[in-house]
Amino acid sequence: MNKFSTQKQFHTIAKILRGYIKIPLATDSIPGSFMETVLGNVRSATILNTYDFIDVYNPKDRIGWQVKSTKETTPVTWKRAKVKDSERLIKDSQKSASGVQVLGDAIIDFCNQHVKESIERYKLDEVYYSRLVLFESRQVLYFERLLCTKEKPLIFDKKDFAWKWSAPKTTVKKEQLPALHGKNIRTNTKWFAWHGLGENQLHFSGEKEWWPAENDKHSIRFAFPSEKERLTQNEFISLLQRISK
């Protein structure tokens, strides 16, 4: 049985996030750590603060969430993908197309194994994607998506992706190292960029294809508070004084 947030919980999450944006110190972004705390509070769940795949989990309901919060234009870092035996795999990938595919398959295996470890460690039945997107239009989208289950723990299928190295780029300051790009064969769009020659970041642009339609029942959309709705520093201090009494 799927355990998405209820409509009441979605509205509570939106209300808390709008309240956060109203405070004077808030910027036009919402940190992922704050989104984790909001989700944990609303769902009576535990914030892990670990390097596990899931960021928040509820042992009673046996569910966990991977939480992401970025601006619309900011790449989502799925994980620092430190692939086993990566030095050899990278060298082989620079020699042949088959070597490139083997390296790409290893990245997908790494992602799937990472979530499987969390399922086993925390005895989960289901794993969800908890996603907050902030648009330049000052609209906000929050949605949840079922990623996988204990019975079907794989998120990605290696057969869906073809891989190739990007061409090196030179900027004013320095040369950017090539990244390994993974294209989704079904949609003919780039889904992954693995920076394995640098800090191993795996950027996941394909998650935009997971963004829901306007009327999706597992999502909520709302607008940033207007400038008139935001608290001044004096109003914020007065609020804190009232709370602290």
Instruction: Tell me the pLDDT tens digit for each residue of 12-64.
Output: 999 999 999 888 877 778 999 999 999 999 999 999 999 999 999 999 999 99
Strands 126-134 and 63-71: parallel
Distance separating alpha carbons of residues 91 and 103, to the nearest angstrom? 10
- For the segment 72-94, what is each residue's pLDDT rounded down to a tens digit? 999 899 999 999 999 999 999 99
Distance separating alpha carbons of residues 210 and 233, to the nearest angstrom? 38
Mean local confidence (pLDDT), 168-174: 65
Instruction: Give the lowest-confidence range in 2-16, 70-84, 103-117, 162-176.
Output: 162-176
Q: Is the pLDDT of residue 143 over 60?
A: yes
The full set of domain ranges for the chain reads 7-244
* 41's tokens: 């509070």
Q: Is the pLDDT of residue 170 over 70?
A: no
Q: Is-contact 203 75, C-beta < 8 A?
A: yes
Mean local confidence (pLDDT), 104-126: 97
Distance separating alpha carbons of residues 108 and 206, to the nearest angstrom? 13
The whole-model pTM stands at 0.90
Architecture of 7-244 per CATH?
Answer: 3-Layer(aba) Sandwich (3.40)
Distance separating alpha carbons of residues 55 and 50, to the nearest angstrom? 7
* 181's tokens: 């790009």
Q: Is the pLDDT of residue 124 over 70?
A: yes
Q: Is the pLDDT of residue 172 over 60?
A: no
Spell out the residues 6+ positions from residue 223 whose beta carbon is closer than 8 angstroms to its own: 138, 139, 140
pLDDT given for residue 6 in this prediction: 96
